[in-house]
């Protein structure tokens, strides 16, 4: 069944025209969907009853049911578990950063993930299905409504595609969701406030560059060495660094924003001084930033984070070469909401 939140302005206009409605109805409908965000057709009081009935017949307004929410002790990180209409389970996270005045939603673009990175809880559970555009938008709208009841009425300011799944392998749904989240009639988020994180799918990166969305791009690199990367991310065999970097160069050339690389530090795997040197050599030609993430523990995964001194040494090696490399301290680990922990203990 179609999800009305996923319909573009053009699709709404076409539907209204087919239903014999004047063009302004599509605009009214869009307002109910994305500005007022009502969850029932009956609330769309300025639309004729017959049109409302037709809308109800042809699609839905909501597909997710909140199964539960966990708040971290400091209440700054919360994790949601949603049940989709087909019973699929989807997780999202809200991270409030008071000093930066940011309220970031981390959305899932898939249920499970086919990429099976060796250190990630999502991949360990296999792939179920893509999350639809409507389900992505719904995660943001529901959490935006929640955020407004907290922190002085301010809603979500940033959306990151860093939950479960590989967004560039669910390209059409993710692009539709990004475009809707940018729409001034709804969230009105600028590309600067939208970040897509990818394991590095070259064709997807090119398509994203072509789309004109102008969002931020984060790339999960985790190793500058092809062999080590393949050990951590089996998808690196299909998309080697030699194919990834030309796509990134193309993206960077067409974007006003620096690329962010994510580098998960794992003891005795990718965190030595030699690894840092290799990373510097690879990234030197790039305008970029590296987020260093000491590995978050995942049940059943034997890797561990390096000692703090090794993390510092790695960071210093990058910064000495002029590459900004903040260490991302885990947020939400206690509620299983940290990077790579989604889906752990969910079932």
Residues recognised as catalytic: 91, 339
Which of 16, 105, 162, 247 forms a contact with ligand SAH (CB under 6 A)? 162
Is 339 a binding residue for ligand SAH by CB under 6 A? The answer is yes
Binding segment toward ligand SAH, per CB under 6 A, in 13-21, 28-36, 64-72, 289-297: 289-297
Helix (H) / strand (E) containing 208: helix 202-211
Residue entry with tokens 């109800």: 56
| C-alpha–C-alpha distance, residues 152 and 326, integer Å | 29
Q: Across the chain, where does the E strand assignment appear?
A: 2-3, 59-60, 64-71, 77-84, 89-97, 102-106, 110-112, 127-130, 158-161, 194-198, 216-220, 259-265, 288-294
| C-alpha–C-alpha distance, residues 120 and 126, integer Å | 11
| C-alpha–C-alpha distance, residues 144 and 136, integer Å | 13
Both tokens of residue 98?
């008071």
Number of other residues whose CB lies within 10 A of the CB of residue 216 = 18
Is 166 a binding residue for ligand SAH by CB under 6 A? The answer is yes
Is 220 a binding residue for ligand SAH by CB under 6 A? The answer is yes
When the beta carbons of 92 and 220 are compared against ligand SAH, the nearer one is 220
Is 198 a binding residue for ligand SAH by CB under 6 A? The answer is yes
| C-alpha–C-alpha distance, residues 236 and 228, integer Å | 10
Which of 26, 264, 292, 310 forms a contact with ligand SAH (CB under 6 A)? 264
Q: Indicate the burial class of 284 (C-beta count within 10 angstroms; 0-12, 13-18, 19 or more).
A: exposed
Three-class secondary structure of residue 58 per DSSP: helix
Residues 294-313 interacting with ligand SAH (rule: CB under 6 A): 295-296, 298
| C-alpha–C-alpha distance, residues 324 and 327, integer Å | 10
Is 263 a binding residue for ligand SAH by CB under 6 A? The answer is no
Is 252 a binding residue for ligand SAH by CB under 6 A? The answer is no
| C-alpha–C-alpha distance, residues 24 and 21, integer Å | 8
When the beta carbons of 166 and 275 are compared against ligand SAH, the nearer one is 166
Both tokens of residue 200?
């590095």
When the beta carbons of 162 and 224 are compared against ligand SAH, the nearer one is 162
Helix (H) / strand (E) containing 134: helix 133-149
Both tokens of residue 345?
């203990």
8 Å CB contact between 7 and 15 = yes
When the beta carbons of 32 and 119 are compared against ligand SAH, the nearer one is 119
Q: How far is the CB of 162 from ligand SAH (least distance, A)?
A: 4
Q: How far is the CB of 113 from ligand SAH (least distance, A)?
A: 6
When the beta carbons of 51 and 119 are compared against ligand SAH, the nearer one is 119
Binding segment toward ligand SAH, per CB under 6 A, in 26-34, 46-54, 112-120, 174-182: 112-120
Which of 156, 174, 293, 318 forms a contact with ligand SAH (CB under 6 A)? 293
Residues 122-161 interacting with ligand SAH (rule: CB under 6 A): none
Is 288 a binding residue for ligand SAH by CB under 6 A? The answer is no
Binding segment toward ligand SAH, per CB under 6 A, in 75-83, 136-144, 274-282, 288-296: 288-296
When the beta carbons of 12 and 218 are compared against ligand SAH, the nearer one is 218
Is 199 a binding residue for ligand SAH by CB under 6 A? The answer is yes
Is 262 a binding residue for ligand SAH by CB under 6 A? The answer is yes
| C-alpha–C-alpha distance, residues 258 and 245, integer Å | 14
Give the Å distances, CA to CA, from 268 to 81, 291, 300.
34, 19, 18
Half-sphere exposure of 242 (CA within 13 A, CB side): 4
When the beta carbons of 21 and 341 are compared against ligand SAH, the nearer one is 341
By CB under 6 A, name the binding residues for ligand SAH: 117, 119-120, 162, 166, 197-199, 220, 262, 264, 293, 295-296, 298, 339-340
């Amino acid at each position: 069944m179609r999800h009305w939140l996923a319909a573009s302005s053009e699709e709404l206009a076409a539907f209204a025209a087919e239903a014999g409605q004047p063009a302004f109805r599509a605009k009214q409908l869009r307002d109910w969907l994305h500005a007022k965000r009502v969850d029932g057709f009956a609330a769309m009081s300025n639309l004729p009853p017959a049109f409302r009935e037709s809308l109800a017949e042809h699609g839905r307004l909501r597909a997710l049911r909140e199964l539960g929410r966990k708040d971290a002790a400091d209440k700054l990180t919360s994790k949601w578990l949603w049940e989709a209409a087909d019973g699929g389970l989807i997780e999202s996270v809200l991270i409030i950063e008071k000093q930066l005045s940011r309220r970031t939603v981390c959305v899932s673009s898939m249920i499970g993930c086919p990429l099976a990175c060796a250190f990630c809880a999502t991949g360990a559970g296999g792939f179920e299905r893509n999350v639809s555009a409507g389900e992505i938008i719904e995660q943001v709208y529901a959490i935006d409504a929640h955020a407004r009841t907290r922190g002085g009425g301010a809603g979500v300011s940033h959306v990151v595609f860093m939950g479960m799944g590989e967004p560039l392998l669910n390209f059409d749904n993710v692009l539709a969701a990004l475009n809707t989240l940018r729409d001034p009639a709804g969230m009105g988020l600028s590309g600067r406030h939208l970040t897509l994180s990818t394991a590095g799918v070259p064709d997807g990166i090119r398509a994203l560059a072509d789309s004109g969305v102008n969002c931020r791009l984060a790339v999960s690199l985790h190793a500058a060495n092809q062999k080590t990367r393949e050990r951590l991310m089996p998808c690196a065999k299909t998309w080697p660094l030699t194919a990834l970097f030309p796509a990134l160069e193309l993206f960077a050339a067409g974007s006003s924003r620096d690329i962010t690389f994510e580098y998960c530090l794992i003891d005795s795997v990718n965190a030595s001084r030699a690894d840092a040197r290799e990373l510097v050599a690879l990234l030197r030609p790039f305008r970029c930033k590296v987020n260093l993430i000491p590995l978050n523990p995942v049940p059943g995964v034997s890797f561990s984070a390096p000692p703090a001194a090794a993390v510092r040494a790695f960071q210093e090696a990058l910064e000495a070469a002029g590459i900004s490399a903040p260490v991302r301290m885990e947020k939400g680990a206690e509620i299983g909401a940290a990077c790579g922990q989604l889906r752990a203990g969910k079932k």
